[in-house]
Structure 1
Amino acid sequence: MGYDHQFSQKWSIQTSIFSNYKDAYEPRPFNILDEKIISLGLRSNVNYKNRLFSLPFELSFGTELLTEKYGYSLSKNLYQSQPGQGSIQGEEFSAIKQNRNYTNYFLQMEFWISKKLHLETGLALNTTKYSLEDVFENNSGGQKMPFTFGNVWSPRVGLSYKVSNGKNIFTSVSKGFSVPSVAETLTPEGQINTNLKPEIGWNYELGFKGNWLTNKVYTEVTFYSTQIENLLVARRTAEDQFVGINAGSSSHTGLEFLVNYKILELTQLQIKPYFSGAFNTFKFKEFLDGDANYSGNQLTGVPEKQFNFGVDLNTKNGFSVNTSFRTIGKIPLNDSNTKYSERYSLLDIKTTYVFTILKILKIELNAGINNALDTKYAANILPNAVGFGTAAPRYFYPGNPINFYGGFSVSYVF
């Protein structure tokens, strides 16, 4: 829920509050996981627009505050004791509650240095705090253990140069971070790992955006390189238990591109094919795990190539068809790069019809098909999976077969 207010032509503010709730129950081979997450946040942004040296100037600053309560419990899964009955919840043997608080402050400035050169720069400050309570061991409301990753500063600067009408070159340098997830912060004993550090990355980009053939063709191409320190990886310590560790550093270099073509643009009908893709060269720069040295190996769980081709068809009477054909390249399944997943392709089709009633009600109807070719593929990869007993390692979580959906929305137009 948000509120926008324009104080004057120069000053404005946007404020919103947001919340999220998740209740998940997952029967697994080794146990049953029951987890709940509820969060509440506030985001506020103040904007100032003016002219500096007769050129446009914009300044914005604000904050985002988020508090999140996370709790989970583990129970025995008794499916083996009563075959054919499915998962049966048994005795609870672990329960954890964790409170997380995120504080973000940011400042951003945009300025036209000249009519062709545009500068964008910003600075953000983040503080993340955790507190943990083992409610299974301390039923009376056990001791909470606070922990913080400290202050993380994230600067950014970007430049854009207008080569000619509809054609721009841009470059940027920025610093980002990623704090560990709940599971990564916990030790096998259920305590917070105070030695864990957030991932820190510097990102460098150089790209081009431009229109061609009297604006019928639009292209984007971006070269980027992200250098990450304190790389977070998951180490398996038991049948159903992982802990997060800082494993060294990695290099993420790649190229992304996009081409849109208005092949047909009539009053009654528009047809726009598009083609996009990415080439990824993601490698461990330095990664030592015990006696194993994975430095120089391809980063686990990331495909080398991804492509997406589609066609968008729109008619004047509100009917549209959108198609997408995605191809994902092979993915390394373990840090040693001895196993890979197979390449796969997916075709999705969506149709939409939009119309109005009495000029005040906007109705949108939609229907579609996901995985129209009924491809068998792995939607998720579990890196470095390990088999226990006679069971083979479970690297793959299968994706949905062909499936259909439909929906509608109603909007009131003032």
Structure 2
Amino acid sequence: MLKKVICMVILILTTLIAYTQSVTGKVLDASNNQPLVGANLTDSTRTKGTITDDFGQFTWDVKSNGLVIYVNHLGYKELKIVVNEESPTLRILVPTTAHQLPHMIVSASNTFSQLLDIPASVSIISRNEIERDNGTNIAESLNRIPSLYMHSGTLNTNRVTMRGIGSRSLFSTTKIRAYLNDIPLTTGDGETTIEDIDLGLVERVEVLKGPASSIYGAGLGGTINMKALKAPYNTTNISSEMTFGSYGLFRTVNSFEHGTDAINLRVNYSAIHQDSYRENNQYDRQTISILNQLYPGKNTTLTFWGSWIGLKAFIPSSLDSASFAEDPRQAAFTWGQTMGFEDYDKGLLGANIAHQISEKWELSASLFGSLRDAYELRPFNILDEESGAIGSRVKLTYRPEVNNGSLLWIFGAEYFNENYQWRTFENEDRHPGTILSDNDERRSYYNAFTEANWSLPAGTIFTVGLNYNSTKYKYRDLLPDDGDKSGNYSFDGQWSPRVAILHNFSNELSVYGQISHGFSPPTFSETLTPDGVINPEIQPETGYNLEIGSRGQLHKGKLGYDFSLYSMYINNLLVARRIGDDQFVGVNAGKTRHRGIDFTLNYDLLKKSSTSDLHLWFSYGFADYFFKEFLDEGNDYSGNELTGTPRHKLSWGTDFTHTSGWYGNINFLYVSSMPMRDDNSIYSDAYSLLNLKFGYKKQVSKLFSFKVFGGLNNLWDESYASMILVNASSFGGRPPRYYYPGLPRHYYGGFSLMFKLK
């Protein structure tokens, strides 16, 4: 009998040991792979659980096979997962909620802190906010951010201004940096292109407004960080989305996603075609991208990113005031007659390793590169371009032990080298004729940076940062028929400090202040004299930003707000004078002052309702930007308003969802008039747009879901200029062409299908 009892006890113990084991893992932000500290993990009864430590890690002694775990963290969606015996080590990627922004972990700063703890002006565009629109142009999302305005003349002609910086560029974005998964979208001489990144790739956009030199180097206006979509945790999906609309719009996004504890893979193909509203404005773009993350150990992440973009877009160019009023559909005469276009292929590549060396040390190292082959047919000549770039970025994070609070110290460096070759030819009946120029540019820079963040127990955080930048241009004139214009350009290394302080009054409210220095080097064309020779006297624009702000949540977390008051002082203002159809020269002509207010509100009217969710949002930016000192060719413009930026910009809207599957949004944008010339003699007209989108989504089974949607933009059919060219010149007796017409009322509709393979 005793032997039977002993055998039974041994059998029971063996069974318990077999089914009870330690489940370990990490809980991470799905968009940036940063650990979520204090995430709650509970079982299906909601009575047993654990929380993650300072590194997002957890260990839980449970019966693992078939265990259902619920993962919760403030600012993130609840995630339900099932633990199997074959994968007791978990790597859980949690997506953010649409609206609880203060508690999101953001990468816009070096510290990867929750937004509430960042002493800077940061705006976030979530995936839900990107999907408010039809996905063809990021301008609609960016223009809801206070003090940021994206001029959008066509799908391939855009200009982003941030707090008035970059407003004097004509056809491109300058003095603002941009990254996609840490790969620079900014060239070696400071031009940024984000409009050719398909929004079907993007999970989140983080916008850091004002100088961020202690983190990103040159970029006086700010930085735009784009994060690519990843596969949902523990799933394998195939999805396809198609959109149709006015003016021949067709867009498709097709994806394969595979996410496990060992790998996260997303392959994406997208294409967009539009005949467009204006003449000579057909647009075609295709994109193939691959994002692959590997997790060889619990402390290591390897990321590989590759993207190819093929684009051909015809160019209607801008219109003078009479043509804009009479027939905004027409192309500029010379561009329409020539049937001008741009055609390019571009590749982006990047690799990153993130490794937690110990409890005190972390390493992040990236290697990136890009290639571009472009051809542009223009009325006055033909431009043939090739460029290739390579670079790297390394960052070490150190968390030493301190007696009072905690200290996070960051050291890093970034290097970028670009070779840009370009030739121009005479336009002989739309074919290359006699060669006019043959040029080779080498552009390089390096940044070395450090930043320390000291968090005190009372809730105060001190931040001190410093960046050193060195930028060089080397130019070779390969066709010196009219004199060799070869030369080199560099300026004294730039030291850029930053000091900030933030205090958390509670887990829902913080106040901050900062002083930061920023700079932007001239583009290569701005370093040239009218004779095409490098002018060594040109200096970078520099400036200081003084800012105070507050963000938080009130009314039991239903009401979120973000407020900032800033003043920027810019010296060595770069003025690009147009002296020909394709020739500009730069002059350091004065000083500007940029004062403004940014304010946003988010209110969950039906938060956590059993059937519905109704969210209201509002944003407003006030901009008082003016020339403090500005003398240009004998004219004194001191005291005049800065060109190309609206004084007031306001947006509001509402998002709703219902458990039945219906969803939608209404959004409104108002943009005030803005001066178009330095003498303030001409202003653009103010305009307002009202857009609608509604849809229905259904989870048909565990393996299949679908979504249908439709939208109407510019409901009031307002005539407006979506982009203006400041200080447009007049050549050959022709009137200056200031205006790019915006789209009139237009519609779109579409559907998406998703098949779950696992």
| Greater Cα offset, 310-319 or 285-294 | 310-319
Displacement of 1:168 in angstroms is 1.6
Secondary structure of residue in 2 paired with 1:379 = strand
Contact residue 171 and residue 207 of structure 1 kept, 8 A: yes
Task: Give me the whole-angstrom Cα distance separating, in 2, the residues matched to 1:160 and 1:230.
Answer: 31
Aligned-pair identity (%): 37
Partner of 2:530: 188
* Correspondence list, 1:19-34, <5 A: 19-34=369-384
More strand by share: 1
The match for 1:82 is none
Check conservation: 2:696, 2:707, Cα contact below 8 A: yes
State the shift of 1:366 in Å: 8.5
Report the 3-state secondary structure (helix = DSSP H, G, I; strand = E; otherwise coil) of the residue aligned with 1:158: strand
1:318 CA drift (Å): 8.3
Distance 1:78 1:9 in 2: 66
**What amino acid is aligned across from residue 74 of structure 1 in structure 2?**
T
Report the AA paired with residue 489 of structure 2: F
Aligned-CA RMSD value: 3.3
Residue 209 (str. 1) matches residue 551 (str. 2): yes
Tell me if structure 1 keeps the 8 A contact 2:473–2:524.
no
| Worse-matched range after superposition: 176-185 or 44-53 | 44-53
Instruction: Tell me, yes or no, if the aligned pair for 1:371 and 1:403 is still in contact at 8 Å.
Output: no
Aligned twin of 1:70 = 420
Q: Contact (CA 8 Å) 1:127, 1:152: kept in 2 or not?
A: yes
1:159 matched residue in structure 2: 501
Letter in 2 for 1:95: D
Give per-residue Cα distances to partners, 1:276-297, cap 9 Å, x unaligned.
1111011101111121000111
* Partner secondary structure for residue 77 of structure 1: strand
- Which residue matches 2:622? 279
Alignment match of 1:393 (pick from 731, 736, 755): 736
2:408 is matched with: 58
Partner of 1:39: 389
In structure 2, the residue matched to 1:132 is 475
Residue 9 in structure 1 maps to residue 352 in structure 2: no
- 1:53-132 matches, within 5 Å, as 53-78=403-428, 87=430, 89-132=432-475
Q: SS at 2:493's partner residue?
A: strand
Which stretch of the first structure deviates more once superposed, 374-383 or 43-52?
374-383
2:663 touches 2:696 (CA, 8 Å); kept in 1?
yes
Which range is displaced more, 44-53 or 54-63?
A: 44-53
Is residue 231–residue 248 contact of structure 1 (8 Å, CA) maintained in 2? yes
Given the alignment of the two structures, is residue 264 of structure 1 paired with residue 606 of structure 2, yes or no?
Answer: yes
Q: Structure 1 residues 136 and 355 mapped into 2: Cα distance closer, same or farther (>3 Å)?
A: farther
Residues 194-233 of structure 1 mapped to structure 2, 5 A cutoff: 194-233=536-575
> 2: CA distance between counterparts of 1:306 and 1:160?
28
> Do the aligned partners of 1:185 and 1:243 also contact (CA within 8 Å) in 2?
yes
- Report the secondary structure of 1:237's partner residue: strand
Structure 2 counterpart of 1:290, from 633, 650, 660: 633
Stretch of structure 1 that moved more, 55-64 or 195-204: 55-64
Secondary structure in structure 1 of the residue aligned to 2:655: strand
Match of 2:488 in 1: 146
Distance 1:248 1:166, change over 3 A: same
Answer whether contact 2:509 2:551 (CA < 8 A) is retained. Answer: yes
Alpha-carbon distance in 1 for matches of 2:423, 2:749: 33
TM-score normalised according to structure 1 size: 0.86
Give secondary structure in 2 for the equivalent of 1:150: coil
Higher radius of gyration, 1 or 2:
2
Query: Would you say the 8 A contact 2:502–2:510 is kept in 1?
Result: yes
For 2:417 and 2:661, the matched residues in 1 are separated by 42
Cα deviation, 1:165-193, whole Å, max 9, x if unaligned, reads: 41221100000001112322233333322
One-letter code aligned to 1:123: L
2:686 to 343, 349, 367: 343
User: What amino acid maps onto 2:532 in structure 1?
Assistant: G
The answer to whether the Cα contact below 8 Å between 2:561 and 2:600 also exists between their aligned partners in 1 is yes
Determine if contact 2:571/2:592 at 8 Å carries over to the other structure.
yes
The Cα offsets for residues 208-227 of structure 1, whole Å up to 9 and x where unpaired, read as: 21222111111111110000
Structure 1 residue 348, shift from structure 2 partner: 4.9
Q: Which residue of 1 aligns with 2:642?
A: 299
Match of 1:176 among 518, 523, 548: 518
Look up the equivalent residue of 1:16 and give its one-letter code. Answer: S
Match of 2:399 in 1: 49
In the alignment, the residues of structure 2 paired with residue 411 and residue 224 of structure 1 have an alpha-carbon distance, to the nearest angstrom, of 48
**Are the aligned partners of 1:14 and 1:45 in contact in 2 as well (CA < 8 Å)?**
yes
Q: Distance in 1 between matches of 2:674 and 2:424?
A: 31
CA distance in 1, matches of 2:568, 2:714: 32
Of the three residues 224, 235, 242, the one matched with 2:577 is 235
For 2:447 and 2:522, the matched residues in 1 are separated by 17
Aligned residues between the structures: 405
Post-superposition offset of 1:127: 0.5
For structure 2, list consecutive stretches of 5 or more residues without a partner in the other structure. Answer: 1-350
Decide whether aligned partners of structure 1 residues 411 and 229 sit closer, same or farther in structure 2, where only a CA change above 3 A counts.
Answer: farther
- Alignment CA distance shift 1:405-1:76 (3 Å): farther
1:63 partner letter: A
Letter in 1 for 2:672: G
Tell me, in whole angstroms, the C-alpha distance in 2 between the residues paired with 1:126 and 1:412. 48
Equivalent of residue 722 in structure 2, options 379, 388, 391? 379
Scaled by the length of structure 2, the TM-score of the pair is: 0.49
One-letter identity of the residue aligned with 2:741: P
Name structure 1 gaps, 5 residues minimum: 80-86
Q: Write the deviation string for residues 75-120 of structure 1: whole angstroms up to 9, x where unpaired.
A: 33356xxxxxxx5544331232211001011101111234122111
Shift of 1:323: 4.7
Preserved contact between residue 368 and residue 406 of structure 1 (Cα < 8 Å) = no
The one-letter code matched in structure 2 to 1:146 is N
Q: CA, structure 1 residues 356+99, in 2 after alignment: closer, same or farther (shift >3 Å)? A: farther
Is the 1:4–1:14 Cα contact (8 Å) retained in structure 2?
yes
